[in-house]
Chain A
């Protein structure tokens, strides 16, 4: 079954404690990205990657890091989380064509206290 798997689904952490949200896809997709979803703001792209070792900033990259060492994995790293990073996060993958379907993970609800 084609899927994007994110972990964890829920996470409560304290300010400044480094955390990683994992994302894995099984469709051999080149394009992967991270979004955050906040009430009234919709989904905003954090980072994206068009292939292994190729990553770039999206619209709201501050406070986040990513890596793409393998094609299937695209972890999101918060080196020093702050309360304004409390949000719902989604990982997505697709082919590079703009006429391709994107697949999304189930989301990670992060709370930073």
Chain B
């Protein structure tokens, strides 16, 4: 299973941009890069995903390196509600494991947002 590496924790100030990095040097050509976040006492929630090109949605932007070995989740203006654990996940077809399209979770980055 391809793995991702993220910093354990990061800190930001409210209304400032936040760049959350992720390394995934063993990514395969068919793996999608997904980001989820988990707010305190809640289930994970989807943030964004991409394959090769940079992606934007209402929550965030995803910048993917040209060689796809790293990516960065960008929160343009952090709010207190953005304090959560952010997970960078690779999701592939899982041919080696019965086509199990599971999400492979690391420990994520715990983001603190200061008022």
Contacts and interface: CB of A to CB of B under 8 A. Distances in A.
The interface residues of chain A, by DSSP majority, are classed as: strand
B32 A99 contact: yes
A44 B105 contact: yes
A21 to B, nearest CB: 13
Interface of A: 4, 31, 33, 35, 40, 42-45, 48, 50, 56, 58, 90, 92, 94, 96-99, 101-107
A31 B101 contact: yes
Contacts, number: 59
A42 B105 contact: yes
The interface residues of chain B, by DSSP majority, are classed as: loop
Contact of A107 (B32, B42, B46): B42
Given A98-B93, A101-B49, A90 B44 contact: yes
A106 B101 contact: no
25 contacts: A4-B43, A31-B101, A33-B102, A42-B106, A42-B107, A43-B44, A43-B103, A48-B102, A50-B99, A90-B43, A94-B101, A98-B30, A98-B31, A98-B32, A98-B91, A98-B92, A98-B93, A98-B101, A101-B46, A102-B44, A103-B46, A104-B43, A104-B45, A106-B42, A107-B41
